[in-house]
């Protein structure tokens, strides 16, 4: 893995891909990062242009205007919100604030949960979602693991398999953790793509031990600008905020975030695109002999394929997909692809079909 395209743990690393594949990064069609192909919305691009002059001053250290807009949208008080330089920054702040000794993870999951936990030298309690069950989260095992952790981190929907838990399962986890004075962090970075996913947001006041983490980088296609937020009870928000350096959220990100949150048309267009394209990609993968996609709910698809070195074969032909070899519980025959435009998806499916036939 240290030699692979994901040597720094993530998709979307076209710099390393260029080195490994020998293909200029500008020529790679990137299915390895799960970014909305419709964005960024025109409203956000305009906000960035209009606010360019603001970079000569410090940004609002508390992102107050953005928080006000977000609080209105989520129907909660501004004191329940923390804005960060991407969800990733807040994740590290949470680990420093809570200093958990034992962190529960449902593997396979986003690698930064473990990376961030290792900064505070945490040990892990690991539950596995299994391919033979389509990676469905095993709720009883999750609740049992909560009984022995200080913090459980769960992706909802989970990356890389796009799976969800019933809301009742999240409640059971929150309850088991609360009874022992422990915390639940639900990473909802992809929540906007699945707005009917079920969330503890509306019942947050009952759960002083729950933190929800969200990102604007995927849905609004601004991973290079960075913007994320956390939602929790005010006491907890204040504890996490103390861990973050001031001015972490730059002026352009704050302005873009406000514009994006108002843009309901973009939201509708994205959900309409995903309703068409996700089943299209899933079915297209199913139709290729030897390719086994897993059902999920979100803007990416996990699949299994035994064609050796599929990532390299596709990469040399200008299509970058995510190898899942390094995820605990997966292996070198697992891959993840983002859902993109119809044209791009057709190109991906044709290339995979060709690889399976020729290699
Ligand atoms: C599940 C998950 N959570 C959080 C993040 C980080 O998001 P951000 O770009 O807001 O830091 C990612 C990025 O890949 C992710 O996949």
Tokens 């593997």 locate to 107
Could you give the 3-state DSSP secondary structure of residue 324?
coil
Backbone angles phi, psi at 158, to 5 degrees: -85, 140
Question: Which residue out of 35, 88, 186 has the highest number of ligand 1 atoms within 8 Å of its CB and is therefore the one to mutate?
Answer: 88
Are 153 and 105 contacting, i.e. CB atoms less than 8 angstroms apart?
A: yes
Among 62, 57, 69, smallest CA distance to 216 is for 69
Is this model's pTM higher than 0.95 or not?
yes
Q: What 3-state DSSP class applies to 81? A: strand
Q: Whose CA is nearest to atom 7 of ligand 1?
A: 87
Residues with CB under 6 A from ligand 1: 86-88, 110, 155, 159, 187, 189, 215, 217, 223, 228
Pairing of strands 322-323, 334-338: antiparallel
Per-residue model confidence as pLDDT tens for the chain (359 residues): 567 999 988 999 999 999 999 999 999 999 999 999 999 999 999 999 999 999 999 999 999 999 999 999 999 999 999 999 999 999 999 999 999 999 999 999 999 999 999 999 999 999 999 999 999 999 999 999 999 999 999 999 999 999 999 999 999 999 999 999 999 999 999 999 999 999 999 999 999 999 999 999 999 999 999 999 999 999 999 999 999 999 999 999 999 999 999 999 999 999 999 999 999 999 999 999 999 999 988 999 999 999 999 999 999 999 999 999 999 999 999 999 999 999 999 999 999 999 999 98
Question: Which structure tokens are listed for 197?
Answer: 């996913």
> If you measure from the C-alpha of residue 88 to the centroid of ligand 1, how many angstroms do you get, rounded to a whole number?
6
DSSP 291: E
Most informative mutation of 84, 159, 338 for ligand 1 (most atoms within 8 A of CB): 159
Give the nearest ligand 1 atom to 110 CA. Answer: 1
What pLDDT shows up at residue 3? 78
Tokens found for residue 268 = 């509708």
Exposed (0-12), middle (13-18) or buried (19+): which is 29, by Cβ within 10 Å?
middle
The reported pLDDT for the residue numbered 296 is: 85
Asked whether 156 and 296 are in contact (CB, 8 A), the reply is no
Name the token pair of 24.
């200029």
Q: 198-221: buried (b, 16+ CB within 10 Å) or exposed (e) per residue? A: bbbbeebeebebbbbbbbbbbbbb
Is the four-CA dihedral 146, 148, 152, 158 of positive or negative sign? negative
Ligand 1 atom nearest to 223, measured from its CA:
9
Q: For residue 310, what is the DSSP state?
A: H
> 124: which strand partners?
103
User: 215 CA distance to ligand 1 centroid (A)?
Assistant: 7
Burial of 251 by CB count in 10 Å (0-12 exposed, 13-18 middle, 19+ buried)? buried
DSSP 326: T
Ligand 1 atom nearest to 88, measured from its CA: 11
Residue whose CB lies within 8 A of the most ligand 1 atoms, among 30, 86, 190, for a mutation test:
86
**Burial class (CB within 10 angstroms; exposed 0-12, middle 13-18, buried 19+) of 325:** middle
């Amino acid at each position: 893995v240290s030699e692979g395209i994901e040597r720094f743990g993530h998709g979307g690393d076209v710099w390393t891909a260029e080195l490994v594949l020998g293909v200029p990064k500008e020529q790679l069609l990137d299915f390895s990062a799960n970014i909305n192909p419709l964005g960024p919305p025109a409203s956000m691009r305009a906000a960035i242009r209009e606010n360019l002059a603001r970079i000569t001053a410090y940004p609002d250290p508390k992102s107050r205007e953005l928080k006000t807009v977000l609080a209105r949208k989520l129907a909660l008080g501004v004191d329940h919100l923390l804005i960060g330089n991407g969800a990733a920054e807040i994740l590290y702040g949470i680990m420093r604030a809570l200093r958990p000794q034992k962190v529960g993870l449902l593997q396979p999951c986003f690698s930064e949960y473990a990376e961030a936990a290792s900064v505070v030298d945490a040990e892990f309690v690991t539950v596995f979602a299994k391919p033979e069950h389509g990676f469905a989260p095993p709720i009883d095992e999750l609740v049992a693991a909560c009984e022995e952790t200080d913090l459980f981190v769960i992706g909802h929907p989970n990356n890389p398999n796009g799976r969800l838990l019933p809301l009742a399962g999240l409640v059971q986890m929150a309850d088991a953790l609360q009874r022992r004075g422990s915390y639940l962090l639900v990473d909802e970075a992809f929540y906007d793509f699945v707005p009917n996913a079920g969330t503890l947001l509306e019942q947050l006041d009952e759960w002083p031990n729950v933190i929800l983490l969200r990102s604007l980088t995927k849905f609004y296609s601004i991973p290079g600008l960075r913007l994320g937020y956390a939602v929790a009870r005010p006491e907890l928000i204040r504890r996490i905020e103390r861990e973050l350096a001031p001015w972490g959220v730059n002026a352009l990100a704050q302005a873009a975030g406000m514009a994006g949150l108002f843009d309901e048309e973009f939201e509708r267009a994205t959900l309409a695109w995903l309703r068409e394209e996700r089943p299209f990609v899933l079915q297209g993968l199913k139709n290729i002999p030897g390719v086994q996609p897993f059902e999920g709910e979100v803007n990416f698809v996990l699949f299994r394929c035994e064609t050796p070195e599929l990532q390299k074969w596709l990469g040399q032909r200008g299509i970058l997909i995510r190898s899942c070899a390094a995820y605990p519980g997966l292996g070198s025959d697992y891959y993840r692809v983002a859902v993109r435009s119809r044209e791009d998806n057709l190109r991906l499916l044709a290339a995979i079909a060709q690889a399976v036939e020729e290699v």
